[in-house]
Amino acid sequence: MATCEWPTTPLYQAYHDHEWGRPIHDDRLQFEHLCLESLQCGLSWLTILNKRDIIRGCFDHFDIDTVSYGESDVERILQTEGMLKSRPKIEAIINNASAFKGIQDEFGSFCNYIWAFTDNKTIIYESHPDGHVPAKNGLSTRIYKGHSEGMVPAKNELSTRISKDLKKRGFKFVGPVTIYSHLQASGLINDHGNDCPCFSEINKLADIVQLPVDAED
Q: What pLDDT, in 10s, does the model give residues 60-109?
A: 999 999 998 999 999 999 999 999 999 999 999 999 999 999 999 999 99
Q: What pLDDT is recorded for position 167? A: 98
Q: What pLDDT is recorded for position 30? A: 98
Asked if 31 and 100 touch (Cβ cutoff 8 Å), the reply is yes
Domain assignment of residue 17, yes or no: no
Domain assignment of residue 188, yes or no: yes
Give the residue-averaged pLDDT of 204-208: 93
Domain assignment of residue 62, yes or no: yes
Whether pLDDT at 206 is above 60: yes
pLDDT in tens, 62-75: 999 999 899 999 99
Q: What pLDDT is recorded for position 46? A: 93
Three-state SS string across 112-128, please? HHHHHCCCCCEEEECCC
Whether pLDDT at 137 is above 50: no
Active site residue 37: yes
Q: What pLDDT is recorded for position 2? A: 63
Active site residue 15: yes
Give the residue-averaged pLDDT of 188-205: 93
Active site residue 12: no
Domain assignment of residue 12, yes or no: no
Catalytic position from the list 20, 45, 144, 180? 45
Number of domains in the chain: 1
Domain assignment of residue 35, yes or no: yes
The C-alpha atoms of residue 73 and residue 76 are separated, in whole angstroms, by: 5
- Residue type for position 162: I
Domain membership of residue 193 as a residue range:
24-211
pTM of the model: 0.88
Q: What pLDDT is recorded for position 214? A: 67
Is the backbone of residue 160 left (phi > 0), alpha (psi -120 to 50) or beta? alpha
Q: What CATH number has the domain bearing residue 67?
A: 1.10.340.30
Interacting residues of 45 by C-beta distance below 8 A, sequence separation 6+: 136, 137, 138, 139
Domain assignment of residue 202, yes or no: yes
Pairing outcome for strands 122-125 and 208-211: parallel
Give the residue-averaged pLDDT of 50-55: 98
Give the residue-averaged pLDDT of 125-135: 55
Catalytic position from the list 6, 20, 32, 37? 37
Strand blocks (E) in the chain: 122-125, 208-211
Domain assignment of residue 58, yes or no: yes
pLDDT in tens, 144-166: 333 333 345 688 999 999 999 99
Mean residue pLDDT across the chain:
87
Domain assignment of residue 65, yes or no: yes
Q: What is the CA radius of gyration of the chain?
A: 17
Asked if 186 and 123 touch (Cβ cutoff 8 Å), the reply is no
Q: What pLDDT is recorded for position 204? A: 94
CB environment 28-40: b (16+ within 10 A), e (fewer): ebbbbbbbbbbbb
Q: Which range (46-50, 135-139, 175-179) has the least confidence?
A: 135-139
